[in-house]
Structure 1
Amino acid sequence: MTTATAVPRSPLRSGQFRRVVAAEFISSVGTQMTTLALPWFVLTTSGSPARMGLVFLIQILPVPLLSMPAGLLVARWGARRVTVVGDVCNAALSAAVPALYLADMLPFWALAVIVALFGCVASAYLSAQRMLLTETIGSDEGLVTAGNALFETATSTARLVGPAIAGFLIARFDALDVLWLDAVSFAVSAALLTGLPRRAPAPQAPPAHNMAEGVRYLVRDPVLRTMSLAVLGYGTLMPVVMLALPVLARTRYDADPHVAGWLLAAWGGGTALGTVAVARIARRVPPVRLAAAGGLGAALLLWFLPWDQPVTTLALTVAAGCMFLPGVTAPAVALMTLRPPEHLRPHVVPVFGAVVFVASPVAYGVAGLLFEQLAVGTVLTAVAVLASLCALLLLGLARRPGTR
């Protein structure tokens, strides 16, 4: 008599994983709508790219500044609890902007405060999301890389859908009206994650010891150190490209919000296609080699952005370049969450997040000033040069003996 052997179900097909990805997609759609609506509101009302860049800077700045205490919070509360509380806070903040605007109580300083609070929440929210994802699928390197790629698929698909919807709504209603939908999306995300089972926290060493060890581990490990430097480069350059898209819509394409929406949608659509490809090959290609290939492809496509071209070809160029970005981000996140010892992971991941985000506030602020002083094509050419250097760094890591 032959007994059939049950095939274990992949964690990527579990209900918990699907709920985490669904929550990410829904909240990201609202966030990506706001990513267009809020800077478009600032740009069209003030006419200043520098002020638009300042809004991005204020939102991102708390992330690197608060990453260390955020790691302690995630370690103490757990990833699920931090993510749910973050969703609730983000829903309240999103609703506060249009509510205050309707009450004629939204001066620029008040908007800046709300945007800064978004950044404070994100300092713990972003790393908690990644830890929650790892908790649902285990510690297999290939599975975690594939899971991160699918997670990025949800995020990048939202980047495709969100800006396009926002451009449509902004043209017919008002930019700040879009934030009501962002608030709803965070509320739905919190509801999806509320029922997930809690995971008992790993035994923790004293917090100060763990934070110091997390930094030391990241610096000592050659793979994580080199990967962090490369991701730092892309974390500096890609915000400049994103900020350039509404500027291009305003200066080259008759200040059409539809164009701005479609360019940001092309960014998300290309990234979505890239994440699907990464999810399919992640278990066959070592993470370091995958990151090198992704970095090289993205750098090559960035050289086509400075050209003065029809909006259709520009959107295709943006989409093609962004197809390669998940090849860098998914392996980097997988390595950061799996290479350190388990008790250090809640502290190494926020340190890595700080590395990624530390350059973003500077990039947004400087980019806004550059776009006021220089032609957008000149700035984008400099971005392509620096991205090529980051790709060479990853290629050197992939050729190093003993790396995976």
Structure 2
Amino acid sequence: MTSAAEAPSPLRSWRFRRVIAAEFTSSVGTQMTTLALPWFVLMTSGSPARMGLVFLIQILPVPLLAMPAGLLVARWGARRVTIAGDLASALLTAAVPTLYVAGMLPFWALLVIVALIGCVTSAYLSAQRLLLTESIGDDEGVVTAGNALFETATSTARLVGPGVAGFLIARFGALNVLWVDAASFALSAVLLVGLPRTPPATEPTSSHHMAEGVRWLLRDRVLRTLALAALGYGMLMPIVMLALPVLAKNRYDADPHVAGWLLAAWGGGTALGTVVVARLAHRFPPVRLAAAGGVGAAAGLWCLPWDQPVTTLTVTVAAGCMFLPAVTAPAVALMMLRPPEHLRPHVVPVFGAAVFVASPIAYGVAGVLFEHLAVSTVLTAVAVGASLCALLLLCLARRPHQTPVTAAAPPGRQPAEPA
């Protein structure tokens, strides 16, 4: 591994800078929609359950289509899939306000649109991470730092997007904000067009490769444990995300500005955390970073259930989210580097599915819970679950480092070096 003093910054790669710019552009629009769409559903229907259903339908295709998405990325290449996903997302997002203005947006039609967006996302997420790796190489420290910077772009968008969305919603209405999201996807596609083409895998990809990727993931102790922790966080964090607009409605007089501040605090805390992780990536093993992040995130979540002024709640959300990148960036780096190169397009979506398979359940259950239980009770249960995930990561960090499981390389390729 490259030493900390010699490790090059991912920002030296113009390809990496282009990928980061595209990610930030599309994420700003997406984070505005993350507030605007559920706020529209919540305020027009008055039902947290319907709001949760919108989240559920949008995220449900991601775990269901994770394996076919891996095949698509392997055959088309990460760059082509990402550009196609940006353009499709732009069209689908613009369809929501267009149909609403035309008086042709019943609730079932909205669910169909968000389900299609979820279908696009299933391939987009896998391609996006592989595109990141293609731009900076295979050094573990560099990739961890690159993922942290990638998360910096995303979390900075979480800081900017909701705050701007809260301002725009109060003046122009929630659905009009979706036009900005559609434009951001189109601009992201334009930014990626200039990247060099990376040829897809020459050997045919099939269900055999997908099954091999699943077997590889299950045999590797590090990724198996991280996937289990990811499953837990995938269940817990959507509940927290859904709780923020509910808190704004129930405790703070249904003020969209408060909802925007809370979501912006989530993004701001995460952005600060990603900067720290990017600087620490070459100094600490990824597993130890993930364990430290899990402990800090759990501690922050224990502060959320208490009734408090909006100012302290905003600070609490930001402080707790500072530790999330220390979990996600190392986990994603190991996910991309530990498998042999020919299995990465199949291991990556399976690992991602560990998060997203729990999210639809979480969104659906959370909406019902918030209608029948106090928000503080639900958030206390979330803090307990996060503590268990942190314990799992601590146990992994205390055990000796384990090299990846050897997997047979396809004909004409050399086996991958252990990470």
TM over 0.5: yes
- Is the partner of 2:307 in helix, strand or coil? coil
Question: Could you give the per-residue CA deviations for residues 23-58 of structure 1, whole angstroms, max 9, x where no partner exists?
Answer: 000000000000000000000000000000000000
The aligned counterpart of 2:236 is 237
The aligned counterpart of 1:279 is 278
Alpha-carbon distance in structure 2 between the residues aligned to 1:199 and 1:170: 41
The aligned counterpart of 2:163 is 164
2:67–2:346 contact (8 Å) kept in structure 1? yes
The aligned counterpart of 1:225 is 224
Aligned residues: 398
The aligned counterpart of 1:342 is 341
Alpha-carbon distance in structure 1 between the residues aligned to 2:9 and 2:163: 34
Alpha-carbon distance in structure 2 between the residues aligned to 1:297 and 1:144: 23
Alpha-carbon distance in structure 1 between the residues aligned to 2:91 and 2:103: 18
1:68–1:350 contact (8 Å) kept in structure 2? yes
- Is the partner of 2:346 in helix, strand or coil? helix
Correspondence 1:254-269 to 2 at 5 A: 254-269=253-268
Q: 1:315 to 1:16 in 2, by over 3 A?
A: same
Q: Which runs of 5+ in 1 are unaligned?
A: 1-6
Comparing 204-213 with 288-297, greater Cα deviation is found at: 204-213
The aligned counterpart of 1:4 is none
The aligned counterpart of 2:95 is 96
Quote how far apart the aligned CAs of 1:204 are: 3.2
Give the AA of the match of 1:380.
Answer: L
Q: TM-score, normalised by structure 1?
A: 0.97
- Is the partner of 2:292 in helix, strand or coil? helix
The aligned counterpart of 1:52 is 51
Q: Which runs of 5+ in 2 are unaligned?
A: 1-5, 404-419
Quote how far apart the aligned CAs of 1:202 are: 3.6
Give the AA of the match of 1:347.
Answer: H
- Measured on the aligned residues, the alpha-carbon RMSD in Å equals 1.2
- Is the partner of 1:305 in helix, strand or coil? coil
The aligned counterpart of 1:118 is 117
Question: Could you give the per-residue CA deviations for residues 334-365 of structure 1, whole angstroms, max 9, x where no partner exists?
Answer: 00100000000000000011111000000000
Question: Could you give the per-residue CA deviations for residues 72-108 of structure 1, whole angstroms, max 9, x where no partner exists?
Answer: 0000000000000000000001110000000000000
The aligned counterpart of 2:406 is none
1:202–1:342 contact (8 Å) kept in structure 2? no
Question: Could you give the per-residue CA deviations for residues 194-250 of structure 1, whole angstroms, max 9, x where no partner exists?
Answer: 110011224435411110011001111000000000111011100000000000000
Query: Does 2:138 align with 1:143?
Result: no
The aligned counterpart of 1:20 is 19
Identity rate of aligned residues, in percent?
81
2:62–2:357 contact (8 Å) kept in structure 1? yes
Q: 1:121 to 1:206 in 2, by over 3 A?
A: closer
Alpha-carbon distance in structure 1 between the residues aligned to 2:232 and 2:107: 31
Alpha-carbon distance in structure 2 between the residues aligned to 1:208 and 1:13: 37
Alpha-carbon distance in structure 1 between the residues aligned to 2:8 and 2:331: 26
Alpha-carbon distance in structure 1 between the residues aligned to 2:10 and 2:273: 22
2:16–2:136 contact (8 Å) kept in structure 1? yes
Give the AA of the match of 1:247.
Answer: V
Quote how far apart the aligned CAs of 1:403 are: 4.5
Question: Could you give the per-residue CA deviations for residues 3-23 of structure 1, whole angstroms, max 9, x where no partner exists?
Answer: xxxx99644312111110000
The aligned counterpart of 1:303 is 302
The aligned counterpart of 2:215 is 216
Give the AA of the match of 2:310.
Answer: V
